[in-house]
Amino acid sequence: MLAATLLLATLSASEPVPATRTVNGETRPAGRSRTVGLAWVCFEDHGVALAAGETAYADYIGIHSTGWRVVGPRGQIVVTESEAFAVPEEPGQAVPDARGRRILRYGGPGGVSYMIWSLIDSAGPEPRPAIRVEGSGLTGGVADHAFLQRIERRPLRTRCRYRILRIRLG
């Protein structure tokens, strides 16, 4: 069991971390935003609590969305917050949530993703598709549920080690 865990950690650590993407196809080194857990990394309206052994990098910084890439023993998971996600046409499968949020799972083995409905201050007073969670570190199992519970709306600003905000035009 320990050998399998060490092998998984080695494989996950060797998976390359892409550069941070921004608008117009521009990129910058992902290492500039490197944040090692235990820590919080945040968006404008939500945050992700990193566990020990996890490291986060800014994945995307844009006009309507921002994303964190969380790299850990299970692989990479990209968490994206957006004020502009459309309601998915595919119905998805409801996932229980301790906070009463609407969470839907999409896909199957090798291609699982989640959509969390929540409030986005710039998009009005109703919960909407706000957080997309996807990546090689997701399996559709109980470990995914534990990760989803570490995504919170409005964590205390003092807890956020690094915050990325959407680009403002004008």
- The tens digit of pLDDT for each residue in 85-121 reads 887 788 889 998 988 899 999 986 558 999 999 988 7
Under DSSP, the state recorded for 16 is P
Task: Tally Cβ neighbours within 10 Å of residue 122.
Answer: 10
User: From start to end of 62-112, where are the E strands?
Assistant: 65-72, 75-82, 93-95, 103-106
pLDDT at 114: 95
Q: Please, what are the averages of pLDDT over each run of 10 residues along the chain (170 residues)?
A: 34 70 88 90 90 95 90 94 83 89 82 90 84 93 92 76 67
Strand order in the sheet with 151-153: 151-153, 46-50, 39-42, 160-163
User: CA-CA distance, 140 to 107, in Å (whole number)?
Assistant: 9
Q: Where are the domains of the chain?
A: 2-163
Give the phi and the psi of residue 28 in degrees, each rounded to 5.
-145, 160
Residue 146, amino acid: A
